[in-house]
Amino acid sequence: MVRFEDLRIFVAAADHGSFSAAARELDLTPAVASAALKRLELSLETRLFVRSTRSLRLTGDGERYLEYARAALSSLQAGQSALARDKTAISGTLSVAIPSDLGRHVLLPWLDDFQQQHPRVNFQVRISDRLADLYRQPVDIALRYGTPGDSGLVALPLSEHNRRVVCASPAYFARHGMPRTPADLRRHNCLCFVLGESLHDRWAFEHEGGALTVPVKGDRVGDDGDLVRRWALAGHGVAYKSRFDVLSDLRAGRLVQALPDYTGEPSPLYLLCVHRMLLSPAVKRLREFLQTRLREFEAGAAAP
């Protein structure tokens, strides 16, 4: 079996006409270089050099073999370069799970923009407010609201300061009045969200350094964030939504925020995966892209 390193030493010795010069170039001792050439000649069953104490020259077989040795080294180097490019390339198929409301109205257009910038990336998108089982389902990464629990998942923040806001349509507030304190929500039709078996009917707030929680109720419960948002837009009640979900609606006046002096509960956005080995160059670039877009969206510089 011909060794890659032996070929390198052979080509260097042929180029320099000296074992010592080849050894210096490759940071080896002359003895190591000489042993490598002997091993190569033994493998090929021929003499490659005519040696003397003062000179080193190729034999006829050595001259013929040199062409093939150069081609082999060049091919191996090309293979190494190709692998290195693949490891840093923004390419491949990403299976992404995204939440319903943010996914449909904000993230999908941004994924289109990302794909235009990186056309070698393909997306497989799952939209649901249920947290995908990243260990069992064919999902590479998930984008999810909320501080991750101790699940063993790798959680990278996309936006840590996002919070929930109380909002409803102008028509709803015109009919029912604007709540002035969280306690006023008890007399409003609150559009509640259910995730799995958990009903989100206790809305939490911070005010002047203190925390308070208000139990709410209403005539509609949904397990899809987009559905709750649509009910609010249609004037059916008050919603307690992630600010990112309704930011465009608030800016356009389709929804109005209530209780601006009360800070809603945190709703940070994270990128989740099962292992850091899955953080490919494409995933890392996507995370940077989304972080930038989210900052711009908050500042009003980027459209959803």
Confidence at residue 84, expressed as pLDDT on a 0 to 100 scale: 62
The arithmetic mean of pLDDT across residues 221-229, rounded, is 95
Q: Which structural domain, as residue segments, surrounds residue 68?
A: 4-82
Confidence at residue 129, expressed as pLDDT on a 0 to 100 scale: 86
Confidence at residue 33, expressed as pLDDT on a 0 to 100 scale: 86
| Same-domain status, 260 and 178 | yes
Q: Which residues pair with 122 in a beta bridge?
A: 93
The token pair at 232 is 């609010």
Whether the pLDDT of residue 83 is over 80: the answer is: no
Give the DSSP letter of residue 187.
Answer: G
Instruction: Name the residue with higher pLDDT: 158 or 1.
Output: 158
| Same-domain status, 132 and 277 | yes
| Same-domain status, 114 and 253 | no
Confidence at residue 223, expressed as pLDDT on a 0 to 100 scale: 92
Residue 284 belongs to a domain with what CATH number? Answer: 3.40.190.10
Instruction: Name the residue with higher pLDDT: 147 or 174.
Output: 174
Q: Which pLDDT tens digit goes with each residue over 265-293?
A: 999 999 998 888 888 899 999 999 999 99
Q: At what angle do helices 4-16 and 60-88 cross, to 10 degrees?
A: 120
Q: Which H/E stretch holds residue 28?
A: none
Contacts of 38 (CB under 8 A, 6+ apart): none
Give the Cα separation of 242 and 66 in Å (integer).
68
Residue 225 lies in a domain: yes
Confidence at residue 209, expressed as pLDDT on a 0 to 100 scale: 82
Q: Which residues pair with 155 in a beta bridge?
A: 272
Residue 157 lies in a domain: no
The arithmetic mean of pLDDT across residues 217-233, rounded, is 96
Sequence letter at residue 253: G
| Same-domain status, 193 and 205 | yes
Instruction: Name the residue with higher pLDDT: 88 or 191.
Output: 191
Give the DSSP letter of residue 136.
Answer: T
The token pair at 248 is 């465009």
| Same-domain status, 148 and 292 | yes
- Per the CB < 8 A criterion, the answer to whether 261 and 180 are in contact is no
Report the chain's mean pLDDT, rounded to a whole number.
90
Confidence at residue 17, expressed as pLDDT on a 0 to 100 scale: 87
pTM, rounded to two decimals? 0.70
Confidence at residue 163, expressed as pLDDT on a 0 to 100 scale: 95
Give the Cα separation of 110 and 174 in Å (integer).
35
The arithmetic mean of pLDDT across residues 36-45, rounded, is 90
Give the Cα separation of 243 and 217 in Å (integer).
21
| Final residue of a structural domain among 82, 114, 143 | 82
Percent of the chain exceeding pLDDT 90 equals 60
State phi, psi for 224 to the nearest 5 degrees: -135, 120
The token pair at 172 is 């709803």
Strand ranges inside 84-218, DSSP E: 92-98, 121-127, 141-145, 154-159, 164-168, 190-195, 198-200, 202-207, 210-215
Confidence at residue 112, expressed as pLDDT on a 0 to 100 scale: 96
| Same-domain status, 135 and 205 | no
Confidence at residue 86, expressed as pLDDT on a 0 to 100 scale: 56
